[in-house]
Amino acid sequence: MTEPLITSSSRGPADGPVIPVHALHVDELAAFLDARPSFVRGFAQLSDFSAKAGQTVAVPTPEGALDRVLFGLGQRVKGGKADAMAFRALPAKLPAGDYRLHAVPEGLDAAQIALAFALGTYRFDRFKARGADGARRLVAPDGVDVAEIQAVAHACALARDMVNSPANAMGPRQIETIAREIAEQFGATFSAIVGDALLEQNYPAVHAVGRAAVPERAPRMLEIQWGDEKNPVVAIVGKGVVFDTGGLDIKPSAGMRLMKKDMGGAAHALALARMVMAAKLPVRLVVLVPVVENAIAGDAMRPGDVLDSRAGLTIEVGNTDAEGRLILADALTRAAELSPALTIDLATLTGAARIALGPQVIPFYTPDDALAGQIEAGARKASDPVWRMPLWDGYREALESDIADLKNDPDAWAQAGSVTAALFLQRFAPTTGAWVHLDIFAWNPKGAPGRPSGGEAQAIRGLYAMLKSRFA
């Protein structure tokens, strides 16, 4: 989990030394070393420190104690802005201890640096026997809202922990427990509709996808409501498929290996909701999380079945491995009943999104140009990359069914799998306000300092920045 930041005012003489960190561009290095004691210059030269991006050197005193840290920012960006998220790499290269920035580099935001450091301290060691090797903490620069940084970092760590956890430890019941605890922490109302009660409460698509799971892992619809009812309604919807076998259209083993992360949308929805509630944004927040296991059993849904939906539209199941959009259809319909001013849905929905943009850039879909601009601005502010994709009308007919109102697998000629998935969801999305769908990956396939391979929180820091700007 993310270690907490500390502030200089919270420390006492017994807390030990605070080590200064000098963050340097390449063109600053010579002047910096000229102004430092000879042992600093000598150790930097001995370590071949050239201030390359991410390069880190812990400089000892002549007596062997840690004196300071040099951290490279690379070449200065001409006409651009350096990325504060580079500081995510720093904690992994430091020994345990307390650190402070000697100075905030020009053009960088101190709060974003502090957040990057906090994000970089994350590690998932729930199932490892070895003990912790000590904390790396940053004394927050003056003016930084430490409570907000901690709340955002904690929420991102929660999402990453949930995604990293194996399916046997992060099933429907565990996600319900996490959602309930978040609601209780912030004084929100919480409800869970489980198993056959989904049919009684008109969530037939959620039930159909999850009914093949064993009773202890029964499907459920989770709902959190928080905030003044007079405030504009913001609905956050997250896909919670705790494990996706593909159903009767079973995935190959290689495709199933990472399907513990198919509940990434639910994890991100709960994390974003936690940020909103911690910040006490003036909204009426509604969080809707359908949670299922797409299992294989005698009563699993079959290719060719026609399902009912909460919206009253019938859906032909062309592929049981396109199950996420089915449960989101019911959840989005529920959101529409609440007349939201804004609806955000998050889902690990398609491999096509990764083919289009890779694992690091998240595609989003909205017909609202103003909202798209706000999302892009928030993403830039938070260094949380997204890219707007088209809701291309020409592909809508690929979702037409001969025997139902629509089908969950588009005709092959349309090809654009992420686009057609978004078009399917749009059929169920609220029309009273703006709507956006994000096709997230929630995973780092390649590890790096501060970004270990495994679960990753994507797009929600940018969405949080957008919500603050839009509503606060």
What are the structural domains of the chain? Answer: 6-144 (3.40.220.10), 150-471 (3.40.630.10)
Q: Do 166 and 136 contact (CB within 8 A), yes or no? A: no
Averaged pLDDT for residues 17-36: 95
Neighbours of 106 (CB within 10 A): 9
Give 105's DSSP letter: P
Q: What is the pLDDT of residues 149-208, one digit of tens each?
A: 999 999 999 999 999 999 999 999 999 999 999 999 999 999 999 999 999 999 999 999
Give 13's DSSP letter: G
Distances from the Cα of 229 to the Cαs of 270, 276, 314, 435, 460, in angstroms? 20, 15, 33, 20, 24
Q: What is the pLDDT of residues 36-55, one digit of tens each?
A: 999 999 999 999 999 999 99
* pLDDT at residue 97, rounded to an integer: 92
* pLDDT at residue 2, rounded to an integer: 46
**pLDDT for residue 82 is more than 80:** no
Place of tokens 């935001």: 109
Which stretch of DSSP H or E encloses residue 353? helix 351-357
Tokens of residue 437, six digits: 């769908």
* pLDDT at residue 432, rounded to an integer: 92
Average pLDDT, whole number, for the chain?
Answer: 95
Q: Is 325 a catalytic residue?
A: yes
**pLDDT for residue 91 is more than 50:** yes
**pLDDT for residue 16 is more than 90:** no
Averaged pLDDT for residues 389-413: 98
Q: Is 251 a catalytic residue?
A: yes
- Least Cα distance to 224 among 272, 262, 261 occurs for 272
Q: What is the pLDDT of residues 359-379, one digit of tens each?
A: 999 999 999 999 999 999 999
Who contacts 375 (Cβ-Cβ below 8 Å, separation ≥6)?
A: 364, 366, 386, 388, 436, 462, 463, 466
Beta bridge partners of 437: 345, 365
Averaged pLDDT for residues 414-443: 98
* Amino acid, single-letter form, for residue 103: A
Q: Supply angle C-alpha 147, 149, 150, rounded to 5.
A: 65
Q: What is the pLDDT of residues 290-333, one digit of tens each?
A: 999 999 999 999 999 999 999 999 999 999 999 999 999 999 99
CA 54 to chain centre: 24
Report d(CA 439, CA 450) in Å as an integer: 23
Q: Do 237 and 331 contact (CB within 8 A), yes or no? A: yes
Q: Supply angle C-alpha 198, 199, 204, rounded to 5.
A: 90
Confidence of residue 271 (pLDDT cuts 50, 70, 90): very high
User: What does the DSSP assignment read for 231-285?
Assistant: SPEEEEEE-EEEEE--TTSPPPHHHHTTGGGGGHHHHHHHHHHHHHHHHT-SSEE
Q: Which of 41, 93, 180, 251 is catalytic?
A: 251
What does pTM read for this prediction? 0.96
Q: Do 378 and 275 contact (CB within 8 A), yes or no? A: no
Q: Which of 36, 239, 310, 325 is catalytic?
A: 325
Q: Do 406 and 315 contact (CB within 8 A), yes or no? A: yes
* pLDDT at residue 472, rounded to an integer: 81
Confidence of residue 7 (pLDDT cuts 50, 70, 90): low
Q: Do 97 and 6 contact (CB within 8 A), yes or no? A: no
CA 201 to chain centre: 30
Report d(CA 220, CA 197) in Å as an integer: 9
Strand duo 454-455 + 443-444: pairing:
antiparallel
* pLDDT at residue 15, rounded to an integer: 65
Tokens of residue 265, six digits: 């949308």
Number of DSSP helices (H) and strands (E) in the chain, helices first: 14, 19
Averaged pLDDT for residues 348-356: 97
Hey, which of 16-30, 68-82, 161-175 has the most confident mean pLDDT?
161-175
Averaged pLDDT for residues 205-234: 98
